[in-house]
Amino acid sequence: MEESKSTVASRLTSVKRRSGKSYGQIAEETGLTNVYVAQLLRRQAQLKVDTAPKLQAALPELTDELLQEMMKPPLRSYDPHLIQEPTVYRLNEAVMHFGESIKEIINEEFGDGIMSAIDFYCSVDKVKGVDGKDRVVVTFDGKYLPFTEQKSEHMVSRLRLQEN
């Protein structure tokens, strides 16, 4: 019987915890971002064949069975109750509060379009503020995707229908 996503994620995060390594350390050893490492271990991203040996070297307790599971396309989902977790709630609040302004600047700088969440990199870093206190830096690095004008002459499915 196939294990649930949450069971596999629990097993994977247990391997990480037992290793004593941070997401940042694993990221450094694998060449991935710290958030992507976390996504892999939570089964929110697919482990690529070329990266598997690096991840297994960083986390030697990863079994071949777990690696095979990680290489399957994941069901990218989240628990709807996750919004109640304070860090997640504040991130959501920040995006909602600044979202309209961010959208305007994206449109001003790039034109009418959006930031991809598929061709996307994310990292979390720790820096010292000017007051000497710790600050969290969350970087969203997504490909710009322009909206297209929907001309029927460019619509392949419609062109095929006309050929028949």
Distances (CA, A) of 128 to 29, 87, 134: 24, 19, 5
Catalytic residue among 17, 18, 76, 90: 90
Return d(Cα 32, Cα 132) in angstroms, integer: 29
Of 93, 104, 135, 158, the catalytic one is 93
Give catalytic status of residue 2 as yes or no: no
The one catalytic residue among 6, 18, 116, 158: 116
Q: Is residue 90 flagged as an active site residue?
A: yes
Alpha carbon distance 4, 69 (integer Å): 11
Question: Is residue 158 among the annotated active site residues?
Answer: no
Please give, one letter per residue, the 3-state secondary structure of 79-145. Answer: CHHHHHCHHHHHHHHHHHHHHHHHHHHHHHHHCCEEEEEEEEEEEEEEEECCCCCEEEEEEEEEEEE
**What is the distance between the alpha carbons of residues 35 and 43, in angstroms, rounded to a whole number?**
12
Q: Determine the Cα–Cα distance for residues 137 and 66; give it in Å rounded to an integer.
A: 31
Taking a C-beta distance cutoff of 8 angstroms, is the pair 142, 116 a contact? yes
Residues assigned a catalytic role: 90, 93, 116
